């Protein structure tokens, strides 16, 4: 896994063979979400938006985004929600354990196209995990960008991921706005969908990039709102999710229209994905 | 015969055909070829010429496959059976990784490379060679190399046979994949009345040819087989069964309806532009979602990786097995199954095959072998479905935003 994103050259590593990493830290994020921090013998280079296939012998693999700072490849993180067989087993892992994985895979967020532009990050639920590397990236180079907004939606106040970092990000130059579906007595913030947070922004549509990740319906609404604000379709980016078995374009499961989510995605421009985004059961 | 030239045409008399089987075995190949099993022609080990299905024809139609005695004494007048080269390059089940738990509890993982013996396959048709070349793009054409596929493929020796006859389900000509063998063979045979015109396509082919009692083919021998092939090509281009000029005998009439065609012009955009065409519902009302079409298709490559624990839990295999887009597992996510309906699954299959493939690999995924038509239990016909999707009165106006 020493090679970087293996962008164009033929990989000499057997595509099925995972590499072993050490878990150096583990933390609970939410009731059913936890983060594993990993380290290997060499830095693990990746682009924000890429994912790995985590492997537990006897259980199987799961595609999980890398959620940490790509400028710190000595250690990297995965934030995982427990939903089934593999993720339930991953939850039992703790610091000091070994973990196998293959990767990194997939297209990243278009961070190299962001300089001098405004960036709107609109996400929901665990969709913040693959976007957190973008936040770190932008913050490390804060002066190169225009306004940066993080618009984040979750179901309840207790479902807000990385909430303790919001104040730090705010202080370092990101406008953080949070909304939830259902409030409780203590909630003083916004209630409603993420797109409501988009409307009041001061848009400079010709020079704004919109990055979104979350449930597919949410991403559709975010994209439509961005377009309604006159943002160019090729400046709106979505991270898609499909069943994945191989991550290298051989298993066929992740197809979305003419593309493989593992290779051609998970990050797409709205312009690329629009013909397929609204087709039922595609 | 010494000094074999790639590009020259040789002649192998039928009585000397056993020499070919023997030469392949002497050079270390396991030899497989068409054999009759379970009332179908499939690949099996071949030692003697007599094991070939000489004198048999396969009648094929939508949902129908029957063997019968041929009215001629030709050797290779049957067409393609349910199996293709896929079984040899990409077997239905293969182990890709092995895990062993060590005494200290840690796992040791080993990638598995196949140990298939050098294998010579006899009687491979143009459509299946075209499918192999497509598989090369799928498994070897990106930055990732499928080592298992590569290892199996490198050990194949392919003895192609030019088709003598087309089933009504065949439309290789439409797909530009046949009937003439043009690529990827080590040796190609074209049958004549009492022998074969032999072409050599590789150094490995020359090494085998050198051991055979070959002669340079005479002009009349070449003309004889070429006329027959030209007539077949003509028949397939016409889209109806014209009598072959070389064989005016009505015995060559295959007794079935006209040759299928598939109009590929603008097909990619037609399909991706008609994802909500009402015809998808019509197909769905007939399709059983059984996945037979994906299993018999020589280019379908989807697979699922299964985790197979052995004996105790200290050893595990990861096995890659054929998968079908007609199952609900195929598009399963914890949040739900993406393709819930037969309509969406058939649409996925057809649009992937004929449209998505072009974006992904630069070629159509269909070689026109007709297997999916023959082996569909209800006779769903890819050529007819495409024709219906083209029909102007059913133009899709609902595609796009909800
Ligand atoms: C590009 C990408 C990035 C992802 N990033 C994250 C992340 O950062 N954090 C996180 O918690 N989850 C992420 N997911 C979802 C995660 O892959 C699934 O939740 C996980 O595979 C479920 O596995 P399981 O065995 O626990 O569940 P089961 O329900 O037991 O799943 C069985 C199998 O179905 C497939 N599968 C099920 N759900 C999904 C799914 N949503 N996406 C793809 N395949 C699925 C897998 O092959 C899995 O092995 C991502 C998915 C993709 C495609
Ligand atoms: S789609 Fe049908 S006709 Fe085309 S290659 Fe596959 S099985 Fe043959
Ligand atoms: S088209 Fe035919 S073979 Fe394919 S899934 Fe439907 S019924 Fe089965």
Listed residues A90, A105, A120: the one ending a domain:
A105
On whether any CB of chain B is under 8 Å from the CB of A130, the answer is no
Q: pLDDT at position B258, please?
A: 74
CA B372 to ligand 3 centroid distance, Å:
8
Taking chain B (402 residues) in consecutive chunks of 10 residues, what is each chunk's mean pLDDT? 88 98 98 96 96 95 95 93 97 96 94 92 98 98 93 97 96 96 97 96 97 97 95 83 39 56 96 96 98 98 96 91 97 95 98 98 98 98 96 53 38
Listed residues A75, A105, A135: the one ending a domain:
A105
Q: pLDDT at position A11, please?
A: 60
Same domain, A174 and A267: yes
Q: pLDDT at position B94, please?
A: 96
Q: CA angle, A254 as apex, B107 and A120 as ends, to 5°? A: 100
A51 is a domain residue: yes
Same domain, A176 and A208: yes
Mention every residue, 6+ apart, whose C-beta is less than 8 A from residue B147. Answer: A14, A15, B111, B113
> Whose CA is closest to atom 8 on ligand 3?
B290
- For the record, the structure tokens of A206 come out as 């010709």
Same domain, A212 and A253: yes
On whether any CB of chain B is under 8 Å from the CB of A7, the answer is yes
The whole-chain average pLDDT of chain A stands at 94
Q: pLDDT at position B3, please?
A: 86
Same domain, A93 and A115: no
Domain limits at A222? 111-277
- Compare all CA atoms of chain B with the CA of A215 and give the residue at the minimum distance: B335
Closest-CA residue to A85 (of B332, B302, B112): B332
Mention every residue, 6+ apart, whose C-beta is less than 8 A from residue B231. Answer: B242, B244, B245, B246, B247
CB of residue B292 inside a 6 A radius of ligand 3: yes
Q: pLDDT at position B396, please?
A: 46
A81 is a domain residue: yes
Residue A4: pLDDT over 50: no
A11 is a domain residue: no
On whether any CB of chain B is under 8 Å from the CB of A98, the answer is yes
A215 is a domain residue: yes
Phi/psi-derived region of residue B342, left when phi > 0, alpha when psi is between -120 and 50, beta in every other case: alpha
Q: pLDDT at position B311, please?
A: 78
A56 is a domain residue: yes
> Strand A118-124's sheet: what is its strand order?
A190-191, A175-180, A148-154, A118-124, A208-213, A236-239, A267-269
Domains in chain B: boundaries? 9-91+114-238, 267-314+321-390
- What digits encode the pLDDT tens for the residues A63-84? 999 999 999 999 999 999 999 9
Using a 6 Å CB cutoff, which residues line ligand 1? Answer: A 51, 60, 62-65, 79-81, 83-87, 126, 129-130, 241-245, 266; B 332-335
- Compare all CA atoms of chain A with the CA of B309 and give the residue at the minimum distance: A58
Q: pLDDT at position B252, please?
A: 41
> Whose CA is closest to atom 10 on ligand 1?
A80
Same domain, A101 and A118: no
Mention every residue, 6+ apart, whose C-beta is less than 8 A from residue A33. Answer: A79, A80, A81, A82, A126, A161
Which comes out higher in pLDDT, residue A251 or B391?
Answer: A251
ipTM value > 0.90: yes
Which residue has 């996945």 as its token pair? B291
> Whose CA is closest to atom 1 on ligand 2?
B366
How many CB atoms are closer than 10 A to CB B54?
17
**DSSP letter string, A69-138:** -TT-TTSEEEEEE--SHHHHHHTT--TT-EEEEEEEES----GGG-TTSEEEEEEEGGGGGGGHHHHHHH
- For the record, the structure tokens of B295 come out as 């299993």
Q: How far apart are CA B353 and CA A258, in angstroms?
A: 10
Residue A7: pLDDT over 50: no
* Mean per-residue pLDDT, A176-187: 91
Same domain, A39 and A117: no
Same domain, A218 and A83: no
Is there a contact between A258 and B358 if contact means CB atoms under 8 Å apart? yes
Same domain, A159 and A271: yes
Beta strands in B278-359 (DSSP E): 303-310, 315-322, 332-333, 336-337
Q: How far apart are CA B187 and CA A155, in angstroms?
A: 65
CA B187 to chain centre: 18
Q: pLDDT at position A184, please?
A: 84
Q: How far apart are CA A197 and CA A124, in angstroms?
A: 12
A8 is a domain residue: no
Is there a contact between A58 and B348 if contact means CB atoms under 8 Å apart? no
Put simply, the chain A residues between 225 and 254 with a CB less than 8 A from any chain B CB are 241-243, 245-246, 248-253
Q: pLDDT at position B313, please?
A: 82
- On the 0-12 / 13-18 / 19+ scale of CB atoms within 10 A, A276 is middle
Residue in A12, A16, A219, A266 to test binding to B, most B beta-carbons within 10 Å: A16
**DSSP letter string, B300-316:** ---EEEEEEEETTTTEE
Residue in A23, A215, A255, A273 to test binding to B, most B beta-carbons within 10 Å: A255
Listed residues A58, A77, A105: the one ending a domain:
A105
Backbone angles phi, psi at A210, to 5 degrees: -115, 125
A160 is a domain residue: yes
On whether any CB of chain B is under 8 Å from the CB of A60, the answer is yes
Question: Roughly what angle, to the nearest 10 degrees, separates helices B382-390 and B342-351?
Answer: 90
Q: Are A212 and B261 in contact (CB under 8 A)?
A: no
- For the record, the structure tokens of A60 come out as 């199987």
Q: pLDDT at position A10, please?
A: 56
Choose the closest CB to B144 out of A11, A18, A242.
A11
* Mean per-residue pLDDT, A185-199: 93
Same domain, A208 and A186: yes
Number of domains in chain A: 2
Q: How far apart are CA A228 and CA B326, in angstroms?
A: 38
Residue A269: pLDDT over 90: yes
Same domain, A264 and A142: yes
Banded pLDDT at A213 (limits 50, 70, 90): very high
CB of residue B288 inside a 6 A radius of ligand 3: yes
Is there a contact between B332 and A243 if contact means CB atoms under 8 Å apart? yes
| Nearest ligand by distance to the CA of B169 | 2
Is there a contact between A17 and B333 if contact means CB atoms under 8 Å apart? no
A4 is a domain residue: no
> Which CATH number do you get for residue A255?
3.40.50.80
| Nearest ligand by distance to the CA of B332 | 1
Same domain, A145 and A273: yes
Task: Calculate how close chain A gets to B172, using CA atoms only, in Å.
Answer: 23
- What digits encode the pLDDT tens for the residues A85-136? 999 999 999 999 999 999 999 999 999 888 899 999 999 999 999 999 999 9
Same domain, A81 and A39: yes
> Which CATH number do you get for residue A84?
2.40.30.10
CA B129 to chain centre: 7
């Amino acid at each position: 896994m020493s090679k970087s994103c293996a962008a164009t050259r033929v990989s000499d590593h057997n595509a099925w063979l995972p590499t072993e990493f050490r878990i150096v830290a583990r933390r609970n994020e939410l009731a059913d979400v936890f983060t594993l921090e990993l380290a290997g013998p060499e830095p693990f280079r990746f682009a924000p938006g890429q994912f790995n296939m985590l492997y537990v012998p006897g259980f199987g693999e799961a595609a999980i985004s890398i959620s940490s700072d790509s400028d710190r490849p000595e250690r990297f993180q995965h934030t995982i929600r427990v939903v089934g067989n593999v993720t339930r087993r991953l939850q039992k892992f703790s610091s000091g354990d070994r973990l196998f994985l293959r990767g990194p895979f997939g297209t990243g967020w278009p961070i190299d196209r962001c300089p001098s532009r405004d960036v709107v990050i609109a996400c929901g639920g665990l969709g913040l995990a693959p976007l957190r590397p973008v936040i770190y990236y932008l913050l490390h180079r804060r002066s190169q960008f225009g306004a940066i907004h993080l618009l984040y939606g979750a179901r309840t106040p207790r479902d807000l991921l990385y909430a303790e970092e919001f104040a730090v990000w705010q202080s370092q130059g990101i406008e953080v706005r949070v909304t939830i579906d259902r409030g409780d007595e203590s909630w003083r913030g916004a209630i409603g969908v993420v797109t409501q947070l988009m409307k009041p922004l001061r848009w400079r549509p010709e020079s704004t990039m919109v990055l979104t990740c979350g449930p597919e319906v949410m991403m559709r609404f975010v994209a439509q709102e961005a377009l309604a604000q006159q943002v160019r379709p090729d400046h709106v980016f979505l991270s898609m999710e499909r069943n994945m078995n191989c991550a290298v374009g051989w298993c066929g499961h992740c197809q979305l229209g003419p593309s493989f989510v593992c290779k051609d995605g998970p990050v797409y421009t709205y312009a690329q994905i629009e013909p397929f985004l609204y087709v039922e059961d595609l | 015969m010494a000094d074999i030239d790639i590009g020259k045409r040789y002649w192998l008399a039928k009585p000397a055909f056993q020499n070919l089987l023997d030469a392949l075995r002497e050079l270390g190949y396991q030899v497989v070829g068409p054999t009759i099993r379970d009332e179908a022609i499939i690949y099996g080990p071949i030692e003697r010429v007599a094991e070939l299905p000489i004198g048999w024809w396969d009648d094929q139609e939508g949902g129908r496959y029957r063997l019968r005695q041929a009215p001629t004494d030709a050797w290779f007048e049957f067409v393609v059976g349910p199996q293709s080269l896929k079984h040899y390059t990409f077997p239905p089940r293969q182990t890709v990784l092995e895990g062993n738990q060590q005494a200290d509890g840690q796992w040791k993982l080993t990638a598995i490379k196949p140990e298939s013996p050098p294998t010579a396959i006899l009687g491979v048709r143009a459509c299946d060679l075209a499918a192999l070349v497509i598989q090369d793009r799928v498994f070897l054409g990106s930055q990732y190399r499928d080592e298992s596929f590569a290892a199996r493929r490198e050990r194949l020796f392919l003895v192609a046979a030019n088709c003598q006859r087309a089933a009504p389900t065949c439309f290789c000509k439409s797909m530009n994949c046949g009937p003439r063998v043009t690529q990827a063979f080590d040796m190609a045979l074209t049958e004549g009345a009492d022998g074969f015109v032999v072409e050599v396509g590789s150094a490995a082919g020359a090494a085998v040819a050198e051991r055979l009692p070959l002669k340079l083919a005479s002009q009349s021998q070449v003309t004889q087989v070429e006329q027959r092939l030209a007539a077949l090509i003509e028949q397939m281009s016409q889209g109806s069964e014209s009598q072959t000029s070389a064989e005016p005998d009505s015995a060559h009439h295959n007794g079935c309806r006209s040759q299928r065609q598939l109009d590929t012009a603008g097909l990619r955009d037609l399909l991706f532009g008609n994802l909500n065409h009402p015809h998808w519902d019509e197909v769905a009302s007939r399709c059983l979602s059984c996945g037979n079409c994906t299993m018999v298709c020589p280019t379908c490559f989807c697979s699922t990786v299964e985790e197979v624990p052995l004996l105790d839990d200290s050893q595990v295999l990861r096995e890659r097995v054929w998968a079908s887009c007609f199952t609900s597992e195929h598009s399963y996510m914890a949040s739900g199954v993406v393709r819930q309906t037969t309509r969406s699954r058939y649409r996925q299959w057809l649009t992937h095959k004929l449209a998505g493939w072009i974006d992904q690999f630069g070629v159509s995924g269909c070689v026109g072998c007709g297997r999916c038509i023959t082996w569909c239990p209800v006779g769903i016909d890819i050529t007819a479905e495409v024709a219906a999707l083209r029909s102007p009165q059913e133009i899709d106006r609902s595609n796009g935003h909800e």
